[in-house]
Amino acid sequence: MFWYHDEVEQLARKEILPKGEKMRVLFYGSSSIRLWSTLAEDFPEFEIINQGFGGSTLAACCWFFNKLIPAYKPDAIVLYSGDNDLGDGRHPEEVYLFLQNMMEHIKESCGNIPVGIISIKPSFNREHLINSIHYTNKIFKNLLDEKYSNGTLINVFDEMLEINKSSRELYEEDGLHLTDAGYQLWKRAVRDQFLQQFVASSKDSSTKM
């Protein structure tokens, strides 16, 4: 894990500000999270923290979890990882075990907070892995449905796969990282499938007061 050292150390040194009135949502995972530069603008209803680090695997996210996450006391976590594990040759069942490990880390350190897992994306760079990606997303969902009631799989796979059939607009030239259009799709999915429930419940509470 030494190749992540410099970036992880930089993240670990970030100032931890006191929590305000907004729900604190921490985004964690690989470069698809790290490069999401508009997170705070995309979700202004929340206090956003970005702890993504480039090239990270789900294995690495588990390894560095205690160093990077609990001190921020998140109210919810959005995770994107597993993509690079498959790219490195790991089998879906291995990645499944890492997600289970991650969910246990969250439970032990942060409590039973809501967790949104963004499904692994279908990218041009990893077209040869499409069946493994699809299967990994399926067993991710099964794990969350069967064992973690606080976990939600945020499905970006189906819509991205459909768009990929006729356009490369969601991806940079490397066929792996997202363009602004790709992040707009992720923004809608994260909001509609995960974060919107907290906005609604917040509004309901304020109406009753």
Alpha carbon distance 66, 154 (integer Å): 24
The chain-wide mean pLDDT, for the chain, equals 93
Inter-CA distances, 174 with 32, 75, 177, Å: 13, 34, 7
Closest by alpha carbon to 156, among 102, 119, 201, 130? 119
Average confidence (pLDDT) over 58-87:
97
pLDDT digits (tens, 9 = 90+) for 88-101: 999 999 999 999 99
Residues 6+ apart with CB under 8 A from 154: 78, 116, 117, 118, 119, 189, 190, 193, 194
Residue 109 and residue 1: Cα distance in Å, rounded?
22
**Which residue segments constitute the domains of the chain, with CATH numbers given?**
22-189 (3.40.50.1110)
pLDDT in tens, 118-149: 999 999 999 999 999 999 999 999 999 999 99
Distance CA 24, CA 162 (A): 33
- Predicted confidence band of residue 164 (pLDDT cuts 50, 70, 90): very high
Q: What single-letter amino acid sits at 116?
A: G
Q: Is 23 helix (H, G, I), strand (E, B) or coil?
A: coil
Residue 2: predicted pLDDT: 61
> Token pair for residue 137?
């997303």
